[in-house]
Amino acid sequence: MNKIYQKLTLMFAALLLCSTWVAAVNLLPTGRVSGHSFTTTVLKSGSILIVGGYNTNKSLNTARVYSPSTNAITPTGIMENPVRVWHTSTLLANGKVLVAGGAIKTGLTASAELYDPATNSFSATGVMAKARYVHTATLLPNGKVLMVGGAGQLSTAELYDPAKGKFMPTGMMENPARTWHTATLLPSGKVLIAGGKSGSNFLSSAELYDPISNTFSSTGEMGGERYWHSATLLSNGEVLIAGGIDEGGYTASAELYNPTTGIFTPTNSLRAERGDHIATLMPSGQVFFEAGESKDGHLPEPEFYNPNQGSIVADNSTSPSSEMSMQ
């Protein structure tokens, strides 16, 4: 089985590990899907929407839904922009999914569309003020979606209002531009924007978006520059920043952000250097690291982070991902 398909299959397992309705250990889906640069969104039904992406350097012109109840992958209705990569997909409060930005056949796009699980179809919605690619999208407590940064040296941000189906500008970031960063919704309702790249420069800076004032403000600086990392909100309200790429290549370093003090502090490193990986908060409070890319090109082994001990341990459990047949 090729590496990209293995990564996608492991991703399904990581998403499903937290779901109480998964009992079977054989999670290999019927209907092979491979590729990269797609998005995955867990719908309210428990099914997983897979949108766009590449397959062997060819853009995919479909969206698909994986159903755990049937263990099958089926196509959806035709997308408004049938070819889309490096976009964002955000589950809205009404159960629909906002698919925004990315790149299409003609280049970067500001277009957006909505997927409706009730009709299994897509429809056009508002257009962003700026074409965005490798940006972030965060669902806010008020139901709006915050779009931040993106390729094209963007320091701008905008909000999508599902009630109006429109995008509107919001505050400018403190950093002049940011791509490949992370955006994490904090318990306070603010959003932590961390790391990424600005042109060819790696970023260690971080900032907070306040939805009340619609402004960005600087917060503590990470211990080192990184992009393609993960940012996971822990049960105690802190944010675990892990892995990614720094000036030296793929890294295993990790640090914690404390929203109360606004300070990043180092914590134990991952066992394996990895970037573009999946980090999933488990019901136990541990963080499950899966898949990703590494310096030697091999798929890194799964591992767990225990926030109570600040330690990383190998995944030696009989989790669905470890029991899948890798053909």
The sign of the dihedral angle between the CA atoms of 168, 188, 217, 109 is negative
Mean pLDDT (the chain) is 83
Q: Residue 193 above 80 pLDDT?
A: yes
* Of residues 83 and 306, more confidently modeled: 306
Q: Which pLDDT score, from 0 to 100, does residue 317 have?
A: 52
* CATH fold group of domain 1-161: Neuraminidase (2.120.10)
Banded model confidence at residue 8, pLDDT cuts 50, 70, 90: very low
Q: Residue 162 above 90 pLDDT?
A: yes
Residue with tokens 């196509």: 75
Q: Which pLDDT score, from 0 to 100, does residue 29 have?
A: 41
Q: Residue 216 above 60 pLDDT?
A: yes
Q: Residue 125 above 70 pLDDT?
A: yes
Tokens of 275: 């970037």
CB 87 within 8 A of CB 99: yes
Q: Residue 236 above 80 pLDDT?
A: yes
Banded model confidence at residue 37, pLDDT cuts 50, 70, 90: low
Percent pLDDT > 90 in the chain is: 57
CA pair distance 281, 179, nearest whole angstrom: 24
* CATH fold group of domain 171-317: Neuraminidase (2.120.10)
Q: Residue 122 above 90 pLDDT?
A: yes
Mean local confidence (pLDDT), 160-171? 97
Q: Which pLDDT score, from 0 to 100, does residue 97 have?
A: 97
The per-residue b/e assignment along 76-103, b for 16 or more CB within 10 angstroms, e otherwise, is beebbbebbbbbbbbbbeeebbbbbbbb
Q: Residue 326 above 70 pLDDT?
A: no
Q: List every span in the chain annotated with CATH 2.120.10.80.
A: 1-161, 171-317
Q: Which pLDDT score, from 0 to 100, does residue 55 have?
A: 55
Q: Residue 229 above 60 pLDDT?
A: yes
CA pair distance 13, 305, nearest whole angstrom: 17
CB 177 within 8 A of CB 149: yes
Tokens of 15: 């998403």
- The type of residue at 252 is A
Question: pLDDT tens-digit profile of 248-307?
Answer: 999 999 999 999 999 999 999 999 999 988 898 998 999 999 888 888 777 788 899 998
Other CB atoms within 10 A of residue 50 CB:
23
Least confident stretch, 78-82, 117-121, 130-134, 247-251: 78-82
